[in-house]
Amino acid sequence: MCGRTACTLDAETLKCVCGYKDATGRYRKAEWQSRENAGRDYQLSYNIAPTDVIACVVAGEHFDTEQERVLYPMIWGMIPPYHKGDYRKHNLSTHNCRVEGMRSSKLYSTPLNKGFRCVVVCTGYFEWEKTKEPKQPYFFHAPQREGVNLTEIHKDSSKWTEKNGWEGVQLLKLAGIFNAWKSDDGHIIYSCTIITMEANKVVSWMHKRCPAILQTEDDVSAWLDFKRVPLSDAVQLLRGPTEDTLKWYPVGTAVNNSRYKDEDCIQPIKLKEKKESGAAGLMASWLNSSSQTASKRRSTDDVEGGERTGKSEVKRAKKDQRG
């Protein structure tokens, strides 16, 4: 599954990172669409939780713009199309969508059939190893060029050119579905969900589910191209990560608190060696104690033996002197 993400780039830099190559072969920035969204806007964060706002890339055709791709800030957790009333009170967990049942889902099939496919961009996502107590969080991220520090706030748009595109920090691009929900008073609110799938051997040690990662630029283009790439073909693009497309490291438990947003949430840590417990631990402790006792006994015997030998030699020396 995917229940927590991070995005350490400011809004201006995200335009560069999410750029694309146009028909002339030049790179173009993905522009933000500034529309009313219940007053919710994108802000960089080291700890993004469901109901927070995340950055999404969508086809420009959804917004009547000449841009091939646009960026839009969306509430993480899809508001059901049929929901009435306060958008915050639908009482459903909708931040993840299982790929296996999304086309038949009452919740997700409606936006899917409208072509509402999006790409959620993030520096990485968190997952918790449940075999340890307390649960140990890990940060999963895209491979980076040498010298890139993920914990820094990236505001350097100079790493983008029309010729080469973006050459800075690399983001994960997760397949998602979005929806444009209209409130009772006529306001439009955009929200989204991240598609998940059965974890493959690369990440199954951590969790049985993982987000669907779009691994190439061609995959991103096809997923967004709802007019020319039918859903049946687009779904085939969703596959598990490889060791070359996903990296990870352990982080501190500060990220457990969804209200804590500081940079140490994604700071790497060194894990302490796990101490043995239970019967194995007691046996190891007993063996260690026995070894120490035996060592002390041998040491004592050596000393006492040395003292006895020394006394015998003194007696023989005195006897020889008298003789």
127 in catalytic set: yes
Give the Cβ contact number of residue 296 at 10 Å: 10
Nearest to 168 by CA among 5, 15, 6, 4: 15
Closest CA to 57 of 12, 117, 142: 117
Is 2 annotated in the active site?
yes
Rounded Cα distance between 108 and 319, Å, is 106
Q: Annotated catalytic residue: which of 2, 118, 122, 265? A: 2
Q: Please check whether residue 78 is in contact with residue 191, taking contact to mean a CB–CB distance below 8 angstroms.
A: yes
Q: Which of 56, 97, 118, 127 is catalytic?
A: 127
The alpha carbon torsion through 308, 309, 313, 314 (nearest 10 deg) reads -30
Query: What does the alpha-carbon distance between residue 251 and residue 136 come to, in Å, rounded to a whole number?
Result: 8
Phi and psi at 58, nearest 5°, equal -135, 160
Q: What is the set of active-site residues?
A: 2, 127
